[in-house]
Amino acid sequence: MSTFIGQVGAQMTQGFAARVEELERERRDGLVILTLDPKTIRRSEHANRHALSLKSTDGDFLALRASLNRDGQIMPVSVRAVADDPKHAYELVSGHRRHEAALQLDRESEGGFKIRAVLDSAAQEPARLALHMYLENAARKDLSAYEVGAMFRVWLEGNLYPDQVAIAEATGLGKQTVSKYLQVAALPKSILDAFGDPRTIAVRWAEILMAALKANQPAVLAAAKTMAARPDRPEADAILRQLAESAAAKKPKKGGSHSETVKLDGRTIFAYSLRNEKIAIRFGKHVDRQLARELTEEIKELLTRRLKSKLQQGGHR
């Protein structure tokens, strides 16, 4: 027969075990708020924040960092537990700006700076993780068109979603809207450089910029390069207008054409035509196939020898 003290001890052990199980269930369900060292949290490869959003040159980031330092953290970040990284026990699901601000404050504060995080138990699968990142920011309308487009492109390249239709179904966006976001992210680098910060490009501008590029790409890219070099960069909508207007410039004329027929004793032995740096040679019907093949090989050898000599001398680039 157990003693009274033994019975009390058994009840305490059972109660403790039950509480541990309850806490574990809450942890699995994402109901536990953790206080963590921000250095134990790694960024996700599916992060949807542009690098400029995490720099001290970004006004919104500076305001967030100051608020975090002055008022403390109001909204926790969300994380998922990872077991494949000896340096990090968690991976960010949402809150990349808050996490970066916490890392900076941790480096600058004596005793470090802690960050509060909630476990997102539903974000273990990569596709769900990426979707949760998008939904958390979409609810606050907190991502630019470029960031959303770049995120969708990463989803497609990483086979998280098979196509634009699947992305539209997962996010609740229309397929055309998804396509416009992707177009913004796919704009040529010179166009992005013209704006300076690609986050200023509105999603509705995608069609305008793509139409301008289709109409006169050389002129638009040249205008973009000029604007990117300007020290007094205008506002984003003015840049859009100038790029669109540049498409109306006259297209450069293509190279001319020339053709000639060479005859011997009144019979055509060959004819050639040169158009837009492309040359075509046609032998006369009186030149047999074997001779035509031999002449073709000689022409190839001559072109190879001459071009190699010129290029090695640096005469042509």
Domain boundaries, the chain: 257-312
Q: What tens digit of pLDDT does each residue of 73-99 get?
A: 888 888 888 888 889 989 888 888 889
* One-letter amino acid of 112: G
Q: How far apart are CA 178 and CA 165, in angstroms?
A: 8
Dihedrals phi, psi of 62, to nearest 5 degrees = -60, -40
Tokens encoding 64: 């967030």
DSSP type of residue 18: H
Mean pLDDT of the chain: 81
For residue 95, CA distances in Å to 41, 59, 75, 92 come to 11, 17, 9, 7
Which is more confidently placed, 83 or 6? 83
Mean pLDDT is lowest, of 89-93, 112-116, 272-276, for 272-276
Dihedrals phi, psi of 91, to nearest 5 degrees = -130, 140
* Cβ atoms 98, 64 nearer than 8 A: yes
Please state the separation of Cα 245 from the chain's center in Å: 27
Question: Is residue 119 pLDDT above 90, yes or no?
Answer: no
- pLDDT score for 184: 94
Question: Is residue 40 pLDDT above 50, yes or no?
Answer: yes
Which of 195, 198, 279 is CA-nearest to residue 235? Answer: 195
How wide is the angle at C-alpha 150 spanned by C-alphas 244 and 118, nearest 5°?
140
Residue 162, SS3 per DSSP: coil
CB half-sphere exposure, 81, CA atoms < 13 A: 9
Question: Is residue 61 pLDDT above 50, yes or no?
Answer: yes
Percent of the chain with pLDDT over 90: 27
How wide is the angle at C-alpha 156 spanned by C-alphas 153 and 159, nearest 5°?
145
For residue 71, CA distances in Å to 34, 55, 114, 200 come to 19, 21, 13, 29
Q: Where are the beta strands (DSSP E) in the chain?
A: 33-36, 41-42, 77-81, 90-94, 115-119, 257-264, 267-275, 278-283
Average pLDDT over residues 246-251: 79
Confidence of residue 2 (pLDDT cuts 50, 70, 90): low
Question: Is residue 102 pLDDT above 60, yes or no?
Answer: yes
Confidence of residue 252 (pLDDT cuts 50, 70, 90): low
